[in-house]
Structure 1
Amino acid sequence: MFFSEARPRTWEASPSEHKKWVEVFKACDEDNKGYLSREDFKVAVVMLFGYKPSKVEADSVMSSVNPKTSGILLEEFLSIIRKKKEVQLYRNEIRHIFTAFDRHYRGYLTLEDFKKAFRQVAPKLSERTILDVFREVDQDSDGLVSFKDFEYAMKYGQNEA
């Protein structure tokens, strides 16, 4: 319904960021094979994002690799990193919006938080609509909207029938 328009936007790396990604690829491409092995990829992610990918993430990436190449080619790597960066930026945007709603820094939103926020950004929205939006976002119906609830609504909100 309300959050259904919220979708990640396509994002392009700046030339300096693109250059950095290529440099990381080359630095992690041991023996200049022309591709990254599973372990090389993990090191590259640590260098670029500061965390070691889980087994599930590494398996997912490696399962999408062309078996003839034995690893991730530069163009595939750049595509994977661009998508990871888009997700990271989108999540940060969602976090920023949530924080703007969470004026008391409690880590959750109440119906009153929603009402105050909507009065500022959409003053003509009816009380009933705000309540409906709150209920839609409150995934576990506990009367509180956690960041996880909010993020889910922003990413996967359903169109109203």
Structure 2
Amino acid sequence: MFYSEAGARPRTWEASPSEHKKWVEVFKACDEDNKGYLSREDFKVAVVMLFGYKPTKIEADSVMSSVNPNTSGLSLEEFLSIVRKKKEVQLHQSEIRHIFTAFDRHYRGYLTLDDFKKAFKQVAPKLSERTVLEVFREVDQDSDDFVSFKDFEYAMKCGQNEA
């Protein structure tokens, strides 16, 4: 409901040519023996280079289990697809944080019903107060009359899946 009422929609995203080139360069740099694929350890180094963190064992296992069984590692196309998806998630999370911050006009780290009313009055002035209240109640997962970033993020992600 939150997405359909607020009018938000997940966006498709494409890498710029320079970003794509950087990803290919990282792949080549991490493919130490020019074998044409990244091993598990090569993949971890590539993620550190591109995203600044070492992937967890679970993340590395997940990626490596998706590799074509006829190869010994992650091909360039598979790597580019994974990096694009990770970048989309990163941008989406940043967008959610930005929206939450815009709603949190008093910088308290949580939103009240009044914050919702003011924000919706700005972005959707014809939306009824009853609808805004329904959205607030839906987003306020623990019904404590405060919407934390975690509540907000969860609602935004659920809304994306329903859209």
What interval of TM-score do these two structures reach, taking the shorter chain for normalisation?
over 0.9
Identity %: 87
For 1:55 and 1:39, locate their aligned partners in 2 and report how far apart those are by CA, in whole Å.
Answer: 11
- Distance in 2 (alpha carbons) for counterparts of 1:41 and 1:35: 9
CA distance in 2, matches of 1:14, 1:125: 37
Residue 5 of structure 2 corresponds to residue 2 of structure 1? no
Q: State the 1:2 CA deviation.
A: 2.5
Q: CA deviation at 1:146?
A: 1.1
Note the residue ranges of structure 1 that are not aligned, 5 or more in a row.
none
Separation of aligned partners in 2, 1:8 and 1:123: 22
Deviations 1:50-108 (CA, angstroms, capped at 9, x unpaired): 11111111111011001221110000000000011111111111111110000111111
Shift of 1:47: 0.4
2:65 is matched with 63
CA RMSD of aligned residues (A): 1.6
Q: Tell whether the 8 Å contact from 2:116 to 2:132 is kept in structure 1 after alignment.
A: yes
What is the CA–CA distance in structure 1 between the aligned matches of 2:97 and 2:131, rounded to whole Å?
23
Whether the 8 Å contact between 1:109 and 1:145 is mirrored in structure 2 is yes
Would the alpha carbon gap of residues 152 and 13 (structure 1) be closer, same or farther in structure 2, given more than 3 Å must change? same
Provide the rounded CA distance (Å) in 1 between the counterparts of 2:97 and 2:25. 30
Are the equivalent residues in 1 in contact too, given 2:101–2:107 (CA < 8 A)?
yes
Please tell me the residue identity of whatever aligns with 2:24.
V
User: Is 2-11 or 129-138 further displaced after alignment?
Assistant: 2-11
Equivalent in the alignment of 1:102: 104
| TM-score normalised per structure 2 | 0.92
Shift of 1:114: 0.5
In 2, Cα distance between equivalents of 1:123 and 1:18: 40
> 2:29 matched to which residue of 1?
27
Match of 1:144 in 2: 146
TM-score of the aligned structures, taking structure 1 as reference length: 0.93
Q: Say which SS state the counterpart of residue 127 (structure 2) adopts.
A: coil
Give unpaired runs (5+ residues) of structure 2.
none
